[in-house]
Structures are given as structure tokens and as C-alpha cells.
Amino acid sequence: MSPPWRLFADHLRLTVRLTPNGGRDAFDGIETDSQGETYLKARVTAVPEKGKANKALIAHVSKSLGVAKSSVSLVSGETARKKILRIEGDPEDLAKKLETLSG
């Protein structure tokens, strides 16, 4: 199974499947969808209205990886469950941290 992230020169792109109203802010491992794409399962306590769940996801990812919130941005999936995040920083270092977080 390939990881749900892709490395670029100065950033990493992470595919996430977000569950709002998830009871807690957490990562629940990596899964593969029916098309064979992998994604990191994440849940947040925030509700999916007015971008609150997206903001909570960005805050949770930035805190978990030890980067500033401004280093994490939403590339696509603003209103969808599946999202792509761009995380600025050393891609190798970020990938290592994600490996430990994703279980």
C-alpha cells in the first residue's frame, strides 16, 4: 500500500478523509478506497459548517506535526469528506512524522 502523501521539493501533499463531529480530534490510520487511492482517516470534534471542521483539521495536523498552522493549507475538498492538504516544510521530515502518526 502506498502512503497517502506525495513529496515535492518544498512541501508534502496529504490526502485525508475527514469525519466531523467525530467525538475527538484524532487520526485513525490509513485506508484504501475502491479506486485504490490511500488516505489518512482523521476525525475532529468540530461541526461541518462555515469551515469549522476544516480549520479544526488544519489545527490538528499542524499541532501533530509540530508546524505552524500557516504551513498547512487546504488544496482541495473544501466541502467534501476527502481533502488534500499542502504542508510546507522538509518533505522527508514530514513524511517520517506522518508514518509515526498514522500507525
pTM for the model stands at 0.95
Across 15-30, average pLDDT: 96
Q: Tell me the pLDDT band of 1, cut-offs 50, 70 and 90.
A: confident
What is the rounded distance in angstroms from the CA atom of residue 89 to the CA atom of residue 14? 13
The topology under which CATH files domain 5-102 is: Conserved Hypothetical Protein Mth637; Chain: A; (3.30.1200)
Q: Where are the domains of the chain?
A: 5-102
pLDDT tens-digit readout, 48-88: 999 999 999 999 999 999 999 999 999 999 999 999 999 99
pLDDT tens-digit readout, 30-39: 999 999 999 9
Across 1-18, average pLDDT: 95
Burial degree of 25 (CB within 10 A; 0-12, 13-18, 19+)? middle
Which one, of 27, 63, 24, 59, lies nearest residue 44 by Cα? 24
